[in-house]
Structures are given as C-alpha cells and as structure tokens.
C-alpha cells in the first residue's frame, strides 16, 4: 500500500533540487486560435513565465537561506562540543560536523542558489514592470510615443522576449565552467617564451 504522503527524503529532495515546481513547461506555448493576439500572449506566455520565475526565485531563496542557517548552526555547535570533553567520540563528532559544513558549502556552490535566486527575482520583477508599463500605456508605450496599437503590442512582445532571452543567457553563463585566468605578466619581468 502506497502512502498518500511523500516520504521525508522525497520532500527534502524536491525542496532542494526540483526546479520546475508546477510541472508546467514555460517554454512550450499553445494558443487557442491560429492568429493569437496580445491577450493570448499575456495569458499563455507572459503570465506563466512570471509565475515560473517567481516560483524558482522562492525555491532558490529558501534553499540558500536554509543551507546558510544550517551551516551557521553547525559552525556554532562545533566549538561547544570541543569544549565539553576531549574524548575520541567528541573529536569524531566534531570532524563529522566540519565535513557536513564542507558538504553544505559545496552544495551551495554547485547549485548557485544565491545567484539563481537573484537572477530569477530580477527577471520576474523586470517582466512585471514591463507588463505594468504596457497596461498603463506609460513610458515608451505612451500614446505620445506610439499611436498604433499593433506597434505597441509588437514592441511589448519584443521587449518581453528579449528580457527572457537575456535571463536564459545569464543562466547558462552562470553555470559554465570559467577557466582560471592566467596571471598577467608584470611589466619589466622577462617572459618564458
């Protein structure tokens, strides 16, 4: 008989590693008709992407903050444990806790939770700002700047897609392995070539 509730390990795994929190692919868009209009774009593309970025931002914020608090807590416990007694068991516990801190730090570095949190939050906020300017016909979308509704709609779609494309580029550049820069040769020193 299967349990109706997720196991604790499933909850932990999904909390820290599952990115697509609502199981909807924000990259795949379907429209109800053959010639979608701006409302279709907003409903089927923009709003789901804003919710997706918002959700990922929250997941990465929780991941980062939880792991940082855990690291701080463990770091505070180690000196207390070492003062209690000099037993061999206490030294092993202290060493294990130090190893746990290293593992947590490694997870934070690999997942880039802090950077991802900021990236997703800023993208969501930028899209929301663009949407508000468009709906209120403010800024570049004002009637003083653009007289035709179709040009305003096209400009809005182009800008939103550019924002999302920029996020995707930043996401992948954040995760690429950066080769270490070779030390630049100081002026006046002989070269090895």
Q: Tell whether 1 is covered by a domain.
A: no
Q: Tell whether 83 is covered by a domain.
A: yes
Residue ranges of the chain whose pLDDT lies below 50: 1-2, 19-21, 23, 179-185, 189, 192-193
Q: Tell whether 135 is covered by a domain.
A: yes
Q: Tell whether 191 is covered by a domain.
A: no
What was the pLDDT predicted at 56?
A: 92
Radius of gyration of the chain (CA): 25
If one counts the domains in the chain, the total is 1
pTM of the model: 0.71
Q: Tell whether 28 is covered by a domain.
A: no
Domain of residue 45, residue span: 36-175
Q: Tell whether 14 is covered by a domain.
A: no
Instruction: Return all residues near 166 (Cβ < 8 A) that are at least 6 apart.
Output: 123
What was the pLDDT predicted at 9?
A: 56
What was the pLDDT predicted at 83?
A: 84
Q: Tell whether 49 is covered by a domain.
A: yes
CB 167 within 8 Å of CB 119: yes
Rounded Cα distance, 38 and 153, in Å = 6
Q: Tell whether 182 is covered by a domain.
A: no
């Amino acid at each position: 008989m299967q349990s109706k509730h997720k196991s604790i390990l499933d909850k932990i795994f999904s909390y820290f590693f599952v990115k697509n929190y609502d199981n909807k692919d924000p990259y795949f868009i379907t429209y109800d008709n053959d010639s979608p209009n701006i409302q279709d774009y907003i409903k089927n593309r923009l709003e789901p992407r804003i919710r997706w970025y918002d959700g990922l931002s929250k997941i990465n914020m929780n991941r980062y903050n939880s792991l940082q608090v855990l690291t701080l807590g463990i770091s505070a416990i180690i000196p207390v444990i070492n003062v209690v007694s000099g037993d061999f068991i206490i030294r092993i516990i202290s060493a294990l806790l130090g190893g746990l801190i290293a593992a947590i730090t490694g997870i934070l570095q690999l997942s880039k939770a802090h950077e991802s949190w900021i990236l997703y939050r800023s993208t969501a906020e930028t899209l929301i700002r663009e949407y508000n300017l468009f709906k209120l016909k403010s800024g570049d979308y004002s009637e003083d700047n653009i007289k035709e509704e179709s040009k305003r709609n096209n400009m809005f779609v182009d800008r939103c897609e550019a924002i999302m494309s920029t996020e995707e580029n930043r996401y992948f550049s954040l995760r690429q392995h950066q080769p270490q820069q070779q030390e630049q040769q100081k002026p006046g020193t002989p070269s090895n070539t």
